[in-house]
Amino acid sequence: MVSDFYIPDLDYHNEAAQIDAATSPWIEGYVEGPYGGIPRLRTTLDQKDKLGAAKVRLGIGRDDYIVPPGLYAVGNPDKGSPVLVTANYKLTVDILRSSLAGVDAWVVAVDSKGINVWCAAGKGTFGTYEVIKKLKELKLKELVSHRTVILPQLAASGVAAYQVLRNSGFKAVFGPVRAADVREFLRSGLKATEEMRTVRFGAASRLLLTPVELVHNLKWMLIMLAAMIVYSLFTTGFSDVNTALATAWAGYLPLITAIITSCVLVPLLLPYIPFRAFAAKGLVVGLVLDVLVVTFRENISLLANSWLLLTAYCILIPAITTLLSLNFTGSTTYTSFSGVKKETEAALPLARIAIGLSIALAVISLVL
Amino acid sequence: MKHKYIRNVVTLKLDQERCKGCSSCIQVCPHRIFVVQDKKAHILDKDSCIECGACMNNCPFGAIEVEVGVGCAIAIINGAKNGSEPCC
């Protein structure tokens, strides 16, 4: 059978070997390979690694958090040691190496363009071709005497194990979903339990995703604040700026609450909010906020004085929570393309109309 | 608490004629929706499928078909805007 993935034998090429251990604290010296030094991954994380992780969790420098692709060592591996394949996103490599204390293994980082395993597999940068190419380029057959490589299970949407075997001679075994289980997987003779094979999305993972949601919406928070200040200046007049700012701030609170609720509370309470569709979950939360806004309208002078503006808020707030909740679909582990497409097509036009209508009402309330 | 997503939308199809019961799909599925009984794979919980395509990609017999895509609204909106494949 002719294969789509045929790659001829390649000359040895290991970008990782060019790393200078002196300036890269995550590298702990080198081990000798048949074609020269192979950098050894440190199995502990230092302050800089933790700071880097915190930054990318906030969405800072996420696209440039990369390690050179190629071959690495962990511990003191030899010809019989297992080969673990991973992505070249630094956060991924950090999670893997910090799970491998006391393990002797080889690590092959494919060139996933600095993207994590699951997303890269979906996008095709962590794919069958790239894996086979790396195994050939690193002359793996001369490094180890066995013919097995271990792939992260979540690479399976990009990597076809039977194709890797056919074209590289290496049996590709899918390991556990989480790096934390790799050690147990190795110890048990490459047996993954159901637990190891299942993707979870617990409260801790959901919490970890909230900072980046907030950062991504900073722009909208500022635009809304600016809009509120302008609105208040027109309402209270330009002579008393302090009053205008205080009025704006009070009027801004329901809006910023809608954004923060959608970015933090919706992810955290996700399975407990009624309905399956994220847009519907967001709508529920928005309507609850509407009830609060109507209840406390006397405390917000802009709303106390204008039924039109109050109506605008009650339309805008559910639109915000619906859109931002829908936005969170991409961060979860359990949404399908068909499902998200269905709810996006249903909710997006309505949310757009709602936003347009609320802006129109707000402008009319200024004129009247 | 198990997360549940929208019902009856998933495009996953399994052709049992072609299936040889090799269990590759069972291995790779991140939501454990397959079982093999009597040397054939069966879909147990279709609504939990996220259409990641891992099973189709790893089926040596071409027995699985699914419209693969990311379950991400931004990607779908961007795709529609640019007239391209869904992309983040």
Question: What are the pLDDT digits (tens) for A199-258?
Answer: 999 999 999 999 999 999 999 999 999 999 999 999 998 999 999 999 999 999 999 999
Sign of CA pseudo-dihedral A247, A248, A254, A257: negative
Q: Under 8 Å CB-to-CB from A240, ≥6 apart: which residues? A: none
Measure CA of the first residue to CA of the last residue in chain A; give whole Å.
77
pLDDT confidence of residue B87: 65
pLDDT confidence of residue A1: 36
pLDDT confidence of residue A19: 96
Q: Under 8 Å CB-to-CB from A122, ≥6 apart: which residues? A: A157, A158, B52, B53, B68, B70
Residue B14's φ and ψ, nearest 5 degrees, are -120, 125
pLDDT confidence of residue A2: 41
Which is nearest to A36 in space by CA: A19, A17, A21?
A17
Q: Do B10 and A332 touch (CB under 8 A)?
A: no
Which chain A residue lies closest to B54 (C-alpha atoms)? A157
Best residue in A113, A128, A130, A157 to probe B by mutation, most B CBs within 10 Å? A157
Residues of chain A where predicted confidence (pLDDT) is lower than 50:
1-2
Which chain B residue lies closest to A203 (C-alpha atoms)? B1
> Tokens at residue B41, please?
């794979």
| Residue reference for tokens 């961060």 | A331
| Residue reference for tokens 């991409």 | A330
Query: What are the CA-CA distances from residue A302 to residues A242, A317, A319 (Å)?
Result: 15, 16, 20
Q: Is A187 on the interface with B (CB under 8 A)?
A: no
Task: Tell me what ipTM this predicted complex has.
Answer: 0.95
Half-sphere exposure of B35 (CA within 13 A, CB side): 4
Query: What are the CA-CA distances from residue A91 to residues A53, A117, A158, A200 (Å)?
Result: 6, 11, 20, 19
| CA-derived radius of gyration, chain A | 26
If you count residue pairs, one on A and one on B, with CB atoms under 8 Å apart, how many are there? 130
Half-sphere exposure of A26 (CA within 13 A, CB side): 21
Would you give the distance in Å from CA A12 to the centre of its chain? Answer: 33
- Got the DSSP string for A91-129? HHHHHHHTT-TT--EEEEE---TT--HHHHHHHTSS-HH
Residue B7 with chain A: CB contacts under 8 Å: 276
Measure CA of the first residue to CA of the last residue in chain B; give whole Å.
28
Q: Under 8 Å CB-to-CB from A242, ≥6 apart: which residues? A: none
Best residue in B72, B77, B85 to probe A by mutation, most A CBs within 10 Å? B72
Neighbours of B82 (CB within 10 A): 10
Half-sphere exposure of A24 (CA within 13 A, CB side): 20
pLDDT confidence of residue B83: 78
CB A174 within 8 A of CB B71: no
In whole angstroms, what is the distance from residue A48 CA to residue A154 CA?
27
CB A126 within 8 A of CB A87: yes
pLDDT confidence of residue A360: 98
Would you give the distance in Å from CA B41 to the centre of its chain? Answer: 13
Which is nearest to A100 in space by CA: A160, A150, A164?
A150
Q: Do A340 and B32 touch (CB under 8 A)?
A: no
pLDDT confidence of residue A165: 96
B32 by DSSP, 3-state: which?
coil
User: What residue ranges in chain A does DSSP mark as E strands?
Assistant: 27-33, 36-41, 70-74, 83-86, 105-109, 148-151, 171-174
Kindly report the pTM of this predicted structure.
0.93
A39 by DSSP, 3-state: which?
strand
pLDDT confidence of residue A312: 98
Residues of chain B where predicted confidence (pLDDT) is lower than 50:
none
Question: Torsion-angle region of residue B21: left (phi > 0), alpha (psi -120 to 50) or beta?
Answer: left
A70 by DSSP, 3-state: which?
strand
Which amino acid makes up residue B38?
D
